[in-house]
Amino acid sequence: MRMNFTNIASAITLILAIACGPAAAGTVSCDSYGGKRNTCGADTRNGVALARQLSGAKCKRTVSWGIQDDNRIWVDQGCRGIFTTGVMWSNGGGGGQTLTCASYNNRRTECPANTNGAARMVRQWSNAPCIQGSSWGFNNRMIWVDRGCRADFMFGK
Mean pLDDT over 138-147 rounds to 93
Among 85, 106, 128, the domain-final residue is 85
Alpha helices in 30-83 (DSSP H): none
- Please give the span between the terminal C-alpha atoms of the chain, in angstroms, as a whole number: 44
Question: Is residue 79 located within the same domain as residue 92?
Answer: no
Q: 59 in helix, strand or coil?
A: coil
Q: Is residue 43 part of a domain?
A: yes
Say which residue, 74 or 2, is predicted with more confidence: 74
Q: Which domain holds residue 36?
A: 26-85
Q: Is residue 127 part of a domain?
A: yes
User: How far apart are the C-alpha atoms of 157 and 140, rounded to whole Å?
Assistant: 12
Q: Residue 25's pLDDT is what?
A: 58
User: How far apart are the C-alpha atoms of 78 and 56, rounded to whole Å?
Assistant: 8
Per the structure, the count of domains in the chain is 2
Among 57, 85, 113, the domain-final residue is 85
Question: Is residue 38 located within the same domain as residue 67?
Answer: yes
Out of 17-21, 23-27, 30-34, pick the least confident: 17-21
User: How far apart are the C-alpha atoms of 67 and 49, rounded to whole Å?
Assistant: 10
Q: What is the pLDDT of residues 82-118, one digit of tens each?
A: 888 876 555 544 556 888 888 888 989 888 888 889 9
Residue 145, Ramachandran bin (φ over 0: left; ψ between -120 and 50: alpha; else beta): beta
Residue 66 has pLDDT above 60, yes or no: yes
Question: Is residue 81 located within the same domain as residue 96?
Answer: no
